[in-house]
Amino acid sequence: MKFAFPLLAGLPLIATTGMNCTVIQLDTLSAPVDENQVYRLCRSPDHTGPLPLHLFAHGDGSFGSWTEAYDDYITYFTDAGFVVAEYYSCGLDWACGIKGDEDFLEMLKIAASMRDSANENVDFNYGISASGHSSGARAALMIAAARDTDDYLPDRIKDKITPSMSDMLEILAAVIPNHPDGMYDPTNHENPNVPGFAISETPTLILTGEWDYVELEGSAFRDWNNITSPSRVYMNVAHARHGECSDHKPPRGAPISTDFLSCHVKADKESCSRIYDSEAESYYGAAEYLAQGDHARNNAIVKTADGEEISTPYVASHRTAAIDKSGNKSDNGRL
């Protein structure tokens, strides 16, 4: 499949060329019916050898083969040189923990199983990354919080993390929550520990849309604003509804998603520049992607260096050397 899409000069659009997928049985996955105790492993035929592993978490109600609704989004990752694993289990929130607060464990089970079986598709030297949509975005936020905050998870969840799964947590390199649930609301029982929820290290990109009327207005930015990771990015996508990554062709959040992973997993400097450098050809000026107008729904509300409060669809902050494996440090935080 190939899609035409208008772009700001200098920004890449990966032309999706298709992917090869295999459905794999994994009995440790949680599912009310056995046929959903599987995950799908996908990769591009254009990339050979072991590749970095990316884990994708579907939204509530997208169980079994319905997860294939995300294929146009997933194909961007495979074309960018990632192997993508997405679980078919946990089709409804009630199937995994309390209102889905154990969904993220499925990603750890898959990664641990692949590492323990020495799966030849994956190079774990890159670490792993995770993304998800809606309830799956909550799973992506929770896996990052579980990595960064020792006392975040209650014992009923922590006790289910095996040593191999814990090893996978330790090598989590980046997460991309796509139209996430609000993690800040104490009445939201999908987050098992609202006061203890914290992402302090894991690079995080949150995507939302100006036409997302499923989540409360400003909810995604409030999630982002509570994250203290030195590398964090927020994008309010133009005209994007809640189901953008499954029902829009091409998904407008896909290019920055693959750039974000290429930056933080592969240490690709050009990808990092497109995300964090406001003076280069970057997403800061990408009108094709960003919600327009000073008061677009779900814009970020931030303060400038002069203390002025403004509404903006894009915020990117980077203050660590996480992207540079050579050890060179940088401090290029941007509004």
Q: Is the pLDDT of residue 294 over 90?
A: no
Other beta carbons within 10 angstroms of residue 49's beta carbon come to 8
Confidence of residue 16 (pLDDT cuts 50, 70, 90): very low
Contacts of 269 (CB under 8 A, 6+ apart): 323, 324
Q: List alpha helices for the chain, DSSP H.
A: 71-79, 104-116, 135-148, 155-158, 163-170, 219-225, 244-247, 254-264, 269-276
Strand (E) or helix (H) holding 236: strand 231-237
User: Helix, strand or coil for residue 173?
Assistant: strand
Q: Is the pLDDT of residue 258 over 90?
A: yes
Per-residue model confidence (pLDDT) at position 280? 61
CA dihedral 175, 254, 133, 224 (to 10 degrees): 50
- In this predicted model, what pLDDT tens digit does every residue of 91-127 receive, in sequence order? 777 778 777 789 999 999 999 999 999 999 999 999 9
Confidence of residue 268 (pLDDT cuts 50, 70, 90): very high
Query: Tokens 């889905």 — which residue?
Result: 100
Global pTM value: 0.88
Residues 40, 111: contact at Cβ < 8 Å?
no
Q: Considering only 55-69, 171-185, 252-266, 317-331, which range has the smallest mean pLDDT?
A: 317-331
- In this predicted model, what pLDDT tens digit does every residue of 125-166 receive, in sequence order? 999 999 999 999 999 999 999 999 999 999 999 999 999 999
Per-residue model confidence (pLDDT) at position 63? 62
User: Helix, strand or coil for residue 161?
Assistant: coil
- State how beta strands 53-57 and 128-133 pair: parallel
What are the Cα distances from residue 82, in Å, to 121, 147, 201, 279? 10, 21, 22, 29
In angstroms, the CA 158 to CA 51 distance is: 29
In angstroms, the CA 32 to CA 23 distance is: 18
Residues 224, 300: contact at Cβ < 8 Å?
yes
